[in-house]
Structure formats: structure tokens, C-alpha cells
Amino acid sequence: MENYTRIHKPRDDGPAAENEVRVRSTEQTRFYVSLGLNLLREKGHRAVVLKAMGKAINKTVAIAEVLKRRVAGLHQLSETSSMTLVDEYEPNEEGLDPIQVSRNVSVLTITLSLDQPDTTHPGYQPPLPADQVKPDQPPRGAAAAPAGGGEGATTASEELVLDEVEQQLLEDRSMGRGRGGGRGGEG
């Protein structure tokens, strides 16, 4: 394959639904958390659908966990599937033909809903207990919510303050790789 260069073409996944978030591995997790909060709180959607492929799947799970800790009563429905992508390569040298390579990638769809879905679905998870949900956290350095702000005063565009659990979910995990990083290895 050293004689070929991959042709980067945008995928045509079609238009996304208004409450659908397509997670990419290149964007920051906080961006997607803000987007999900905005859809649920400010735009009034009853459900948010998180979709990811390949490397973005781990990030999507972390986003869902943070959203469940920010919005009370979110039911989770997870579904996995696979998709076949076709990559095209053009030759770097004369006399070679273009190549198409098919590959299967994993796809994860997580639906977070305020309405109870089918609880018998194998991917169903009930909402977190109320003591694990912290809906509105003030921005860093703020002593209190603004006067008259009350419930829901913080907006999705404000800086997100993360508790210890959320911080662990958002960190770039490198455990389990290399020498002694996981499962009791002694390096």
C-alpha cells in the first residue's frame, strides 16, 4: 500500500435529526456535553441521540455518563451495530490501478430520554439515583447563582465545572497500555 494514497472523501450520512449528535474523535468531549445539555434544557427536546463510529465510541460513552449526571431522570438505551465503509486509494506511480478497500466499523447509538423506553430492551439502563445527579453547577469562581436566576440559570455556553467522577470520564485514559499500565502488570 506504500504505492497508494488514500482519497479522503466526506461521508454522506444524510442530514442529522435535530436532536441527534454525531460524535467524532476530533472534537473535545466538553463540546458534545454542552451540545447535549443545550438540546435537553434550552431547546426542550425529550431525548438526545448520540451516534459514533470506530474510535469515537469510547468518547460517546463518557459523554452519555456525564449527561446522565447532569440531567435528572435520563433513561439510556444503547444499541450496537456495524457498518461497511469503502476506502478509495489512488496510485502514486504510473501504471497502477485505483483500489477500493472495504472495512467494517463498529457503530454505537445511545439514546438518552426523559420518557421511559422499552425496559425489556437489552441495552436499557434506568436513570441514575437522584443523589448522583448534579443538575446545575456554577461556573468556576462564581460564589452563587445570579439574582433571580434560580433553577437552570447556568447556560450550556458557560464553562463546565466537573466533579471528580466526570473528570475521570473526560480524561484521556492511557491505562492498560505499555509496561505495567493495567491488570496487575509489573513492568
Checking if the pLDDT of 161 tops 50, the result is no
Q: What are phi and psi of 168, to 5 degrees?
A: -65, -40
Number of other residues whose CB lies within 10 A of the CB of residue 93? 7
First to last CA, the chain: 35
By the 10 Å C-beta count (0-12 exposed, 13-18 middle, 19+ buried), 34 is classed as middle
State the pLDDT confidence band at 171, using cuts at 50, 70 and 90.
low
Checking if the pLDDT of 23 tops 70, the result is yes
Mean pLDDT in residue range 31-60: 95
Mean pLDDT in residue range 21-40: 94
Checking if the pLDDT of 153 tops 80, the result is no
State the pLDDT confidence band at 10, using cuts at 50, 70 and 90.
confident
Helix axes of 29-37 and 57-70: crossing angle, nearest 10 degrees = 40
Which pLDDT score, from 0 to 100, does residue 143 have?
A: 42
Q: Which of 26-30, 77-81, 154-158 has the highest mean pLDDT?
A: 77-81
Which pLDDT score, from 0 to 100, does residue 2 have?
A: 86
Which pLDDT score, from 0 to 100, does residue 13 have?
A: 75
Which residues touch 130 (CB under 8 Å, ≥6 apart)?
Answer: 72
User: Where are the strands (E) in the chain, listed by range?
Assistant: 4-7, 20-23, 47-53, 75-91, 99-113, 124-125
- The fold for domain 14-137+155-170 equals Translation Initiation Factor IF3 (3.30.110)
Checking if the pLDDT of 53 tops 80, the result is yes
Checking if the pLDDT of 155 tops 50, the result is no
Which segment of 97-101, 106-110, 148-152 scores lowest on mean pLDDT? 148-152
3-state secondary structure of 23: strand
Q: What is the DSSP letter of 1?
A: -
Q: What is the spatial distance between Cα 64 and Cα 171, in angstroms, rounded to a whole number? A: 14
Does the model's pTM come out above 0.75? no
Which residues touch 68 (CB under 8 Å, ≥6 apart)?
Answer: 74, 76, 112, 127, 128, 133
Mean pLDDT in residue range 101-113: 96
State the pLDDT confidence band at 60, using cuts at 50, 70 and 90.
very high
Which pLDDT score, from 0 to 100, does residue 1 have?
A: 79
Checking if the pLDDT of 123 tops 60, the result is yes
Q: What is the spatial distance between Cα 74 and Cα 143, in angstroms, rounded to a whole number? A: 29
Q: What is the spatial distance between Cα 161 and Cα 159, in angstroms, rounded to a whole number? A: 6
